[in-house]
Amino acid sequence: MWPDHLEAGLRRRNEDTRLRILSTAERRFAQRGYDATGVAELCRSAGVSKGAFYHHFASKHDLFLELLDSWLAALDSAFAAAVEQADDVPTALRGMADLVAEGIRRPEQRLGMFVEFWAHAQRDPAIWRRAAEPYRRYLAYFERLIAKGIEQRRFRQIAPERAASLLTSMALGLLMQASFAPDDEAWSDTLRGTVEMFLEGLEDVRR
Amino acid sequence: MWPDHLEAGLRRRNEDTRLRILSTAERRFAQRGYDATGVAELCRSAGVSKGAFYHHFASKHDLFLELLDSWLAALDSAFAAAVEQADDVPTALRGMADLVAEGIRRPEQRLGMFVEFWAHAQRDPAIWRRAAEPYRRYLAYFERLIAKGIEQRRFRQIAPERAASLLTSMALGLLMQASFAPDDEAWSDTLRGTVEMFLEGLEDVRR
């Protein structure tokens, strides 16, 4: 048995190690690709032993899925906050766009990871299932948001399903394009301008 | 010197080999990923010698860029035909959507390649330049199409740049989602429905 304060210290160090491995992996996968990055290299980059690595993750594949989960969890809570703070659906969607614009300050990392996930989902059934489930969930979530916007008379009488598909496509497409923007500011402008265009198209002109 | 008919036969066989390598690579890259697919494996799958491979392509990287070029050339000519056959811009855009829906009958190949290109463009400057150039070209092309649609009074007085950004984002996002559709028909419906939603948003209500 360890004294309490020592055990807490150990837990904290353990958690530090885990997070260091995760953030190193995120960076390396984005820079070099998942296939080209080995566990030995990840351990070297993160400054941890192989023993420590396998204490936290069953495999590189397992680590990859954890990154996906933590990415989605961050997105979920950011979106929930944007909806909570907004008086109506267009404002909520603008808030989400701002959050994404803010969150993507280092496109070489997060976005690289995002495209890596997608490439792997195409050929790895386990990653496919993990990616397809949140994809369907977001689609349904956006559909409910659009329906609420129609109820609020902010949007015209459109089919929520189709509008949700356009919104989801736009969001995915914007993420993919981020790396082609000359800088963060240009990208934020494009993102916000595109979302405005989308909202204009849905607007209830009777207002 | 070879007699003419023998030389023509050789040229044809050479071209057959080249195309066989290209289509094998497209399939293997999509199934297993670019990094995980070696030249030896490609030669085995395509039934060609390493000598034949390097007669046609300087490297795996070079082959990858040729695939990108041939993919874009096919898209370019398909889009040009859709525009030529249409009386107005909305009809042209619907024609493009039909072409993409038709062309993507084997999503496990073409789409896998598309996402692979994107993943590699994030980290390989040579691929990035090759992908960024057509991306900018399409963006400008869509902007001109939208401006023409406004001229034709099919679209309201929108900013062509923003509408082009929405259109490009939607198109990229739709391509990325193809693998999540349960089947080709469901995917075609989603594609067409989403494009209709986009067009509705741009419509000139004065008509």
**b/e map of A77-94 (b: 16 or more CB within 10 Å)?**
ebbeebbeeeeebbebbb
Quick one: pLDDT at residue A142? 96
Q: How confident is the model at residue A105 (pLDDT cuts 50, 70, 90)?
A: low
Per CB-CB distance under 8 Å, the chain A contacts of B116 are 119
Domain ranges in chain B with CATH number 1.10.357.10: 58-202
Residue B170 has pLDDT above 80, yes or no: yes
Q: Quick one: A141 exposed, middle or buried, by C-beta within 10 A (0-12, 13-18, 19+)?
A: middle
Residue partners of A182: CB distance under 8 A and separation at least 6: none
Given a cut of 80, whether residue B174 has pLDDT beyond it is: yes
Q: Do A165 and B193 touch (CB under 8 A)?
A: yes
- Least Cα separation, residue A98 to chain B (angstroms): 17
> What integer pLDDT is reported at residue A96 of this predicted model?
92
107-146 of B, contacting A, C-beta below 8 A: 108, 111-112, 115-116, 118-123, 128, 132, 135-136
Q: Is B15 exposed, middle or buried (0-12, 13-18, 19+ CB in 10 A)?
A: exposed
In chain B, residues 69-108 whose CB comes closer than 8 Å to chain A: 108
Q: Coil, strand or helix: which one is B203?
A: strand
B22 part of contact set with chain A, CB < 8 Å? no
B58-202 falls under which CATH superfamily?
A: Tetracycline Repressor, domain 2 (1.10.357.10)
Question: According to CATH, what is the number of the domain B1-57?
Answer: 1.10.10.60
The pLDDT value recorded for residue B204 is: 74
Across the interface, do B193 and A169 touch by the CB < 8 Å criterion?
Answer: no
The ipTM (two decimal places) reads: 0.84
pLDDT in tens, A76-91: 888 899 999 999 999 9
- For residue B165, pLDDT over 90 is answered with yes
**Average pLDDT of the residues in B81-96:** 94
Q: What pLDDT sits at residue A110? A: 65
User: In angstroms, rounded to a whole number, what is the distance separating the alpha carbons of residues A149 and A199?
Assistant: 11
Residues carrying CATH 1.10.357.10, chain A:
59-202
- The tens digit of pLDDT for each residue in A13-68 reads 888 899 999 999 988 887 788 888 999 999 999 999 999 999 999 999 899 989 88
pLDDT band, very low/low/confident/very high, at A101 (cuts 50, 70, 90): confident
Domain with CATH 1.10.10.60 in chain B: 1-57
Residue A206: C-alpha distances to residues A202, B153, B198 (Å)? 12, 21, 20
Tell me if A104 sits within 8 A of A110, measured CB to CB. yes
Q: Do B162 and A205 touch (CB under 8 A)?
A: no
Mean pLDDT score across all residues of chain B: 87
Class of domain A59-202: mainly alpha
Alpha carbon separation from A132 to B71, B88, B182 (Å, rounded): 26, 37, 11
Across B143-148, average pLDDT: 96
Contact B162/A at CB under 8 A: yes
CA distance B61 to B43: 15
For residue A20, give Cα distances in angstroms to A1, A25, A48, A58, A75: 27, 8, 9, 16, 20
